[in-house]
Amino acid sequence: MGLKFRRALELTRTLPPQRLLGRGAAWADRAVRRRWRNGRDHLFGTEISDAQLRSALRPGLGGESGLLEFLRSGKAPAFFVTPRNAGAIVSRLERHCPGAAALSVSAADQVCAHVFDLLGSGPVALGRAIDWHVDFKSGHRYDPRVYHTDVSPAPHPGGYDIKVPWELSRCQHFAWLGQAYWRTGDEKYPREFVAQVTDWIAANPPAFGVNWACTMDVAIRAVNWLWGYHFFLGHSAAITDGFLLAFNKSLLAHGRHILRNLERSGGFTNNHYLSDLVGLAYLGLMCPQFREAAKWRELGLRELWREMSGQVYADGADFESSISYHRLAAELFLSTILLCRLHGAAVPADAMARLEKMLEFAMHYTRPDGATPLFGDCDNGRLHRLKAWGTPEREWTDHRHLLAIGAVLFGRDDFGAAAGDQWEEALWLMGESAGRFKESLAERRVSAAAPGSRAFPDAGVYIMRGGDAYLAVDAGTNGQGGMGGHAHNDTLSFEFAFGGRPWVIDPGTYLYTADFEARNQFRSSRYHNVLVIDGQEINRFDGRNLFAMQEDARPVIHAWDPSQERDLLVASHRGYERLEPPGSVRRAFWFERPTGRLLVTDEAACAGRHAFACDLHLAPAAIEIEGHVAWIEQPGSEWRLAVCVLPPAGGVDLAVSAGWISPGYGTRTPGPVLHIGGEFEDRLSLACVLVPYRGPGRMPAGELHGIADRMIVNRRRESRS
């Protein structure tokens, strides 16, 4: 049974008849229009002719010659990088970001050699001629003659990844070519930009092939083409008149394709639609040579501000239940708002206020080591990549560039201090103002201070801090209005960090459609730090529908009580009420702020005898177990972690098993799992105490049990009062 058919069948079971008829009529209308466009485009072709380009130009330009004069006149719209500010930006980067130049030149040289490291591939040489249609990780090649609506990801069980050609054709590497050119003056970089764009256009006629199948990627590509182009225009002779005409034809095709294929099926929108709108806004603002630009700009910006209130909660968190997708959404909004400011385009005050909240969320979820928890999906999604990283995997978990940009935009010293050394992207986007703000922080000796504990109730994310200890709890819904497309079964899961390192972690995402089994494994309950009863998922999902899960858990917050000495969070979820007999789960986190010690208690009720498991996923470490205590040691750290389990009435087993850690999409490494499991009858009361300590070897068991007993007594005393 095909995925689309099964989705349609599910709709027939859940929607009322009137809405079902409406959906059916809309689907039929879209299908008819899709078939008509398919036939038309096959029959007449899709490349934009010289005459079509001329007719698309705004009045007064006077055809191709007028277009070329306009583009080269210096009267074109303002952009972040221009010939006038090249020297100042490069000088500023050398002063504020030492080492960045060598990294960007090295990255650009790899691009010139057609060596790409995307989605966990590691460096792969693609040869003299880039095949834009191939998943170079698996070797699968998409037929470039297939109409874009007929292109689809790998069916069950997977085997190849549609995201690989998409990611390559986002052309985010063009910024590195431009940065290297500004730093070296070497003409090989603009020549490579022109060669790749020219080759891409020839190999990807509009509307055909894998690289037109996802509108989001079309939009992101348009943004990155504009970035590359503005690094070279007015600098290099490689930007010939012939190239400019071909480039503008393709930009026109990109804008039209985005407008015709907006991703808002059935009224549902997410990060794909946001990306579509940003592509329209960029093209509308930066391409006034086209008659259609005003429509693109107006629609893109109007809908973008509307989507901000729909896709961003009042507490500032993105609605997709994913920290990584929050970063993508924040980039989409930030970049477009900064472009609007360059053009004097108004941005609504409520959009600015909500964007500031988004950055506050990012500041609070950032761990003391500068990385982020991996709640929900992570697919390495970015709008543009304006920094080349020496440690590529770090790019996907370090979101502090958002804070540097936000510090300048909102005048927030706390954002600027929390940004640490991540100022390179802010300098490319904001120029001198970013440099001045960073210097002002140093002159005023503003230092980063731990932002303190904070609740984000709409997202269901709770952050607790004490010293350099950090606890993040995911007590949120599935997101996306209950669809759960990018959520994991992590309700009441947590990450725990101290001593400058993460210890208890979320394992990440790994893959989407390339491996159905792995996708389902990494989003399952057992792959998160939660209590599991009888091996059942907290939220049910169809193993062949990789971007949805049922909203069974529906968490409830019973107490959130931060204080100077300790933070307390008590929450439950309803994920096991569907069992027969129904079950309930309640978890409490008691976090001692001065010591960084953590007590986690689980209470479950389910009539009869049942199995339970709570697997703690750990960063790479050595683990020793004796009785009900585990001692955990990470290489190179002076800190240790002791985990003491107070066994329930039916007893408990502790064991170490092998798991996986995926720090970024497409890559995974072995990671240890501390398995805590056993059986209970009717009721379960389980307590785990996590005690960070310095020094070699084991903390004496007697001392550890004394700490655990004291924390449990204090917790019980407080609950009675």
Please list the ranges in the chain whose pLDDT falls under 50: 1-7, 10-11, 14
Residue by residue, what is the 3-state secondary structure of 568-592? EEEEEECCCCCCCCCEEEEEEEEEE
Range 460-720: architecture per CATH: Distorted Sandwich (2.70)
Q: How many CB atoms lie within 10 A of CB 288?
A: 17
**What pLDDT, on a 0 to 100 scale, did the predictor assign at position 448?**
78
**What pLDDT, on a 0 to 100 scale, did the predictor assign at position 447?**
85
How far apart, in Å, are the Cα atoms of 486 and each of 162, 482, 489, 604? 17, 11, 10, 27
**What pLDDT, on a 0 to 100 scale, did the predictor assign at position 4?**
46
Exposed / middle / buried, residue 159 (Cβ in 10 Å: 0-12, 13-18, 19+): middle
pLDDT in tens, 351-383: 999 999 999 999 999 999 999 999 999 999 999
Contacts by residues 701-704 (CB-CB < 8 Å, ≥ 24 positions apart): 701/626, 701/627, 701/629, 704/629, 704/642, 704/644
Q: Which helix (H) or strand (E) holds 677?
A: strand 667-694
d(CA 138, CA 159): 7
d(CA 392, CA 419): 18
Short-list 251, 224, 322, CA closest to 53: 251
d(CA 488, CA 486): 7
Short-list 433, 573, 417, 395, CA closest to 80: 433
- What global pTM score does this model have? 0.94
DSSP letters of 592-618?
A: ETTT--EEEEEEEEEEEEEEEEEEEEB
Q: Which two tokens stand for residue 53?
A: 């380009």
pLDDT in tens, 213-223: 999 999 999 99
**What pLDDT, on a 0 to 100 scale, did the predictor assign at position 41?**
78
pLDDT in tens, 558-598: 999 999 999 999 999 999 999 999 999 999 999 999 999 99
- Tell me: cis bond preceding 98? Omega within 30 of 0 counts: no
- Tell me: cis bond preceding 647? Omega within 30 of 0 counts: no
State the amino acid at position 228 in one-letter form: G
State the amino acid at position 672 in one-letter form: P
Chain-centre distance of CA 526, in angstroms? 22
CB distance 185 to 227 below 8 Å:
no
* All residues at 6 or more sequence positions from 593 whose CB lies less than 8 Å from its CB, including other chains: 453, 464, 465, 466, 467, 469, 564, 565, 566, 567
Chain-centre distance of CA 553, in angstroms? 23
Q: Which helix (H) or strand (E) holds 26?
A: helix 17-44
Domain boundaries defined on the chain: 3-44, 460-720
How far from each other are the two terminal CA atoms of the chain, in whole angstroms? 57
